[in-house]
Amino acid sequence: MHLTAEVREVEKLTARVKLYVLELKERLGSWPGQFVMVWLPGSGEIPISVARERGREIWLVIARVGRVTGAIHEEVGEGARLWIRGPYGRGFSTSPGRHLLVGGGFGVAPLLRLADELRALDGPVEVWAALGFKSADDALLLEEFKEVVDRVTVSTDDGTLGEKGLVTDVVELDWPNVVHASGPEPMLRALAFSCLQRGVRLEISLERRMRCGLGLCGSCEVESTGMRVCRDGPVFDARLLASAEFARRSLEVWA
């Protein structure tokens, strides 16, 4: 059954992305990288990764990409309710060491949850975030990242903020023990190629059309791998997908 969540705060982050701060009746208990299914009665139900969890409060970054997200943007304001179930899926690994978080667009959201978790770890932890956006107008959550990570690098395709270029071109891969990435798939494929070539451990968060969220219906299989985004992911070790369709397509990107 769904949990009823009160919308405490809605903040417009960019022209098409809003932050929803929800309050639950009890702690959600999510792991970084996990997602919840968000139901707006009368509209539909969609998977959204948890961007932050503090006590009974969770942050959801919702981009307007379709019918349901459009309805949420239009109908759900402060004081309204959303229904959620979860958390679901396997998230990012967290252990002391040097972590590089690579995010693209509104895909940076689950990396904030990860950054919070890494910051709270016992032991030596260094966290850098490389965040890429199309343009300065699309940048989001920069202040939040700056508060919790040791260094933030921003890049934009058009050079209106930070370095000019793709985040995958400006990122330094010789430094971290592990790279965690979330964002558009071409970005993930390019990163997978670079990391696998250098032998750098990479965890990527994938998205697919999702239905049950429970690992039964097969809707969210990563093509021809037998891997379900909702249950085996959404975070995958890039090596797991290296032999499959995913990797063949990442090679095509570079061909």
Contact between 246 and other proteins (CB under 8 A)?
Answer: no
CA gap 172, 64 in Å, rounded: 31
184 close to 154: Cβ distance less than 8 angstroms: no
Residue with Cβ nearer other proteins (64 or 128): 64
Binds other proteins by CB under 8 A, chosen from 46, 84, 112, 152? 46
Smallest gap from residue 234 Cβ to other proteins (A): 13
At position 24, the amino acid (one-letter code) is L
Residue 69 has phi, psi (to 5 degrees) of: -65, -35
Binds other proteins by CB under 8 A, chosen from 17, 114, 171, 227? 227
156 close to 133: Cβ distance less than 8 angstroms: yes
Contact between 53 and other proteins (CB under 8 A)?
Answer: no
Binds other proteins by CB under 8 A, chosen from 20, 35, 39, 106? 39
Contact between 226 and other proteins (CB under 8 A)?
Answer: yes
CA gap 142, 152 in Å, rounded: 8
102 close to 167: Cβ distance less than 8 angstroms: yes
Contact between 45 and other proteins (CB under 8 A)?
Answer: yes
Hunting for tokens 């994938």 — which residue is that? 206
The site for other proteins (CB under 8 A) is made up of 1-2, 4, 31, 37, 39, 41-42, 44-46, 68, 81, 83, 85, 90-91, 211-219, 221, 224-228, 231-232, 240
